[in-house]
Each structure stands twice: as structure tokens, then as C-alpha cells.
Amino acid sequence: MKVLSYDDVELGDDLPGEIPDVSMLKVTAFCTAAKHVFERFVDHEAARKEGFPAAIVPGIMSQSLLLAMIHRWAPGCTVRKIDTVFRGTLLVDSKVTMSGAVTDTDDSARTVEVDLVITAEDGRTGVIGTAVIEFQA
């Protein structure tokens, strides 16, 4: 795999879109590993009793999926900052899409800022955010 360098990046570049696996199996494994097991994340019926239409993807998992997308786009980079806003629920066992775009560059620091979005299967925006990514010299 070619490692993306700072010199390869231009303002407006899109990160390759991705469809992450948010199946019950993956969400449960993530929650277990993160010691973040709550019924609303791992049990559809329990989530419905809390007023959700189904089990929901935890916010920390959404951030992790975005970080993984960044590292696949730019292996070896360092994410200096990620800031996310959770605008709506993402449902377990649904098809969500992730995307990103370069919105700023800093030649002296060799960093780029990327806007990030996770969109729910029904088209709602579930997560928005920004990340500052540093490339090696």
C-alpha cells in the first residue's frame, strides 16, 4: 500500500467513502473490548424499551470508525485532534456510510484538517466532526 504523504494532499480532496460494519456482532465485540456494555448498544429489545427504534452504535465506536478510516487513507499519519458532534442515532445492523474531505492545510506544520460525516441508512446525519492530521516530514 502506498503511504499518502502531505505533498499528495490537496484542499478539497475527498477521503474514500466507507461502509463500516455496525452489525450486532461487531458492536458487541467493540463494547466488550471497551468495557462499555450497555443494553441500548447490544440488545434491540432493551433499546426499544428505552425509546430507541433499535440498538444504537455507541458514540465512542463512531469515533473509532472515523479514526480507522483516516488511518486507511493516510497510513502512518498522526491524528492530533478529533472532535465529533452526535446529531442522531446510528442503528446497529443498519447500513451507515462514512465520508470526509480536506478543508484546510498548514504547510509549516504539515497538517490537514478533515471534515467527517457518518450518515445513517435513512439519510440522516448521525455524526459530524473534524480531525487534524499530521504527516511525517
pLDDT digits (tens, 9 = 90+) for 59-101: 999 999 999 999 999 999 999 999 999 999 999 999 999 999 9
Residue 18 lies in domain = 6-22+59-134
Q: Sort residue 105 into left (φ over 0), alpha (ψ -120 to 50) or beta.
A: beta
| Exposed/middle/buried for residue 2 (C-beta within 10 Å: 0-12, 13-18, 19+) | exposed
Contact criterion met (CB below 8 Å) for 89 and 126: yes
Residue 103, domain member (yes or no): yes
pLDDT score of 17 more than 80: yes
pTM given for the model: 0.94
Residue 43, domain member (yes or no): no
How many domains is the chain partitioned into structurally?
1
The pLDDT, as a whole number, for residue 109 is 95
How far is 84 from 59, CA to CA, in rounded Å?
9
Q: What distance, in Å, lies between the first and last C-alpha atoms of the chain? A: 19
Alpha-carbon separation of residue 103 from 69, 100, 129 (angstroms): 16, 9, 12
Here the CATH number for the domain that contains residue 105 is 3.10.129.10
Residue 84, domain member (yes or no): yes
